[in-house]
Amino acid sequence: MSQRHAVLALLAVLAALALLAPATAKAKTFYGRVGPGFTITLKRADGTIVRRVQHGRHTFVIRDRSSIHNFHLFGTDVDRRTGVAFTGRRRWSVRLRTGTHRYRCDPHRTTMRGRFTVV
């Protein structure tokens, strides 16, 4: 094999590896809100509901506006929550793994809930 063919083969292998390597997802910030009424949401900065997220470390800013609710985020290796009596803000750095993740108000879990998929 000539040197030129060896270089072309090496470049082809490197290009294939670059395509197969997982992309590094940029960390995102998501905004959770619960209360004061019987509402719970998880949104992006642009106001859209979170339905699908890239795996990796992300920031969750939670605003709990009611002393009869909490915000509970759970899924694969994730279990974070505010207290029911707590009102205020919390900031969590969370590593999300592939799968379905959910959020809810524990005292009202049948009506105040949501979910999103991590890919």
- Neighbouring C-beta atoms of residue 74, cutoff 10 Å: 13
- Average pLDDT over the chain, rounded to an integer: 88
Nearest one of 28, 20, 17, 18 to 118, comparing CA atoms:
28
Would the pLDDT of 48 be above 80?
yes
Residue 15 lies in a domain: no
User: Does residue 50 belong to any structural domain of this protein?
Assistant: yes
Range of the domain at 83: 26-118
Return the percentage of the chain with pLDDT > 90, whole number.
Answer: 77
CA-wise closest residue to 78 among 93, 61, 62: 93
Q: Report pLDDT for 71.
A: 98
Q: What is the mean pLDDT of residues 100-115?
A: 98
Asked whether residue 20 is assigned to any structural domain, the reply reads no
Question: Model-level pTM?
Answer: 0.78
- Rounded Cα distance between 77 and 57, Å, is 12
Residue 23, pLDDT > 60, answer: no
Alpha-carbon distances of 6 from 3, 14, 17, rounded to whole Å: 5, 12, 17
pLDDT at 77 over 70: yes
d(CA 16, CA 72): 42
The reply to whether 79 falls in a domain is yes
**Does residue 14 sit within a domain?**
no
Q: Does the residue 18 lie in any domain?
A: no
Total domains present in the chain:
1
What CATH number does the domain containing 111 carry? 2.60.40.420
What burial letters (b/e) apply to 90-113, b meaning 16+ CB within 10 Å?
bebebebeeeebebbbeeeeeebe
